[in-house]
Structure 1
């Protein structure tokens, strides 16, 4: 299993009752965009930078929405792209987009499965995102999105992603939801984690923002062509209810601050108040 999160225990009975409808994809019945969203999909109001967030069967329930909350906190206008959204993959889908986001994936879903689901979507091709980033765009990969920045996936990293819970010295060794200890810019932090990746990367333009306690890279910003890529194994976008669902100490305020830092490092802008 790679990336994502399960429904909380409070809704476990409901999840069982509707399992036959949702087993193939947590994102199969996404919430519709806000009425104020642009029907054409890519025009951002008020001069805000536009972020495009994937929402579909390769993403977990709630993960695109959590990413959206983080992005809107940082001043982005957000649109969803996916098979049941107003905006689909295809030529021009990323035109005028400042940031493309690949969120967490469905619990129990292998990287190869998520990648296969993406590749079967009408209009999708890896080159759409790869060429967009290479030409100066930005990619943010969270948990499953971090795995998919490697291979199999978009192959945007100067190296690859790997499964942290299987790495030597990992402090989390199962696929359940946990807090994981990381060192973020040299400071100890605890972050929401559910079978996220580490990153084996090296080369010019690589900035490791966070490391797990076994020294594997947990959050990285790297160059790809004239664009930039940011990836995180833990979930810096995790809202308070994710912690509540799994009876974990709530680190959401800290996580969102780390998410802000990751975004600003990716976009090469200083955080507010710095």
Structure 2
């Protein structure tokens, strides 16, 4: 039986094939380009890293924000990059981390920016205060962002920590027992009937982590340190019975910024 001859495409045939393929290739490239362009920009978080902060506190929360399920771009606020209206206008979140031993001295550095920060939160910004930053969310001295005030937990009736040592404490976070890094953090003394969500309570029942509205914005605070990573525990020879996890930090961040 004679072999079947398969005709090879001529130059004209090849040009027609290419002409038909080019629109499909162009559409694919355009679609890929649109897919990349459609990726949303990460929201901006400003993290205080001024002279009264502890060396590792701002970097620790910055790392958590970058790795969060809904990650942030992070910029530090310090003496070279002060907190301004222009900086806040680009931000979704302002973070006042832990650190410092003198609340009044830190307030001296920040009080000139208090009205600016309050106005920004009232207009829709979000404030996250951790330990020392939780104290500063209160008043006298502080930004006065909470429906109530703050006080050191170690001085309250039934507190299980007698002094300002670094330690691990148990809290009830959303009704479940969890252990957290703690160093002289605040309890939150909410007004009766306050519009606030208590995420966690100390063992004596006082609020340990709270989220509350402030105007169109939101304020999230924690007395213990949900952002503490393995290095914090290792440096102080501490062990967390639950293991070291960052899910509580992510929960607090999400509750503070979600709408």
TM-score range, shorter chain: 0.7 to 0.9
SS in 2 for 1:93: helix
Q: Is the 8 A contact 1:134 1:224 kept in 2?
A: yes
Partner of 2:146: 157
SS in 2 for 1:172: coil
Structure 2 stretches of 5 or more lacking a match? 1-38
Give the Cα separation in 1 of the matches to 2:253 and 2:174.
Answer: 14
Higher relative helix content:
2
SS in 2 for 1:88: coil
Q: Is the 8 A contact 2:230 2:244 kept in 1?
A: no
| Residues 89-147 of structure 1, C-alpha deviations (whole Å, 9 max, x = no match) | 223120120000000022xx23212211323xxxx420111001000000000000000
Partner of 1:218: 208
Give the Cα separation in 2 of the matches to 1:135 and 1:186.
Answer: 32
Q: Is the 8 A contact 1:244 1:250 kept in 2?
A: no
From 229, 232, 238, give the equivalent of 1:248. Answer: 238
Give the Cα separation in 2 of the matches to 1:239 and 1:214.
Answer: 26
Partner of 2:17: none
Two-structure CA RMSD over aligned residues (Å): 1.7
Give the Cα separation in 1 of the matches to 2:130 and 2:182.
Answer: 11
SS in 2 for 1:125: helix
| Residues 191-248 of structure 1, C-alpha deviations (whole Å, 9 max, x = no match) | 0000000001144530000000000100000010110000000000001111001111
* 1:125 corresponds to 2:121: no
Partner of 1:102: 96
From 146, 152, 155, give the equivalent of 2:134. Answer: 146
Partner of 1:77: 73
Q: Is the 8 A contact 1:191 1:251 kept in 2?
A: no
Greater CA radius of gyration, 1 or 2?
A: 2
Deviation larger for 148-157 or 197-206: 197-206
Give the Cα separation in 2 of the matches to 1:72 and 1:252.
Answer: 23
- Answer 1 or 2: higher relative contact order, Cα 8 Å, separation at least 6: 1
* 1:54 corresponds to 2:48: yes
Q: Is the 8 A contact 1:58 1:118 kept in 2?
A: no
SS in 1 for 2:88: coil
Partner of 1:113: 105
TM-score of the pair, normalised by structure 2: 0.80
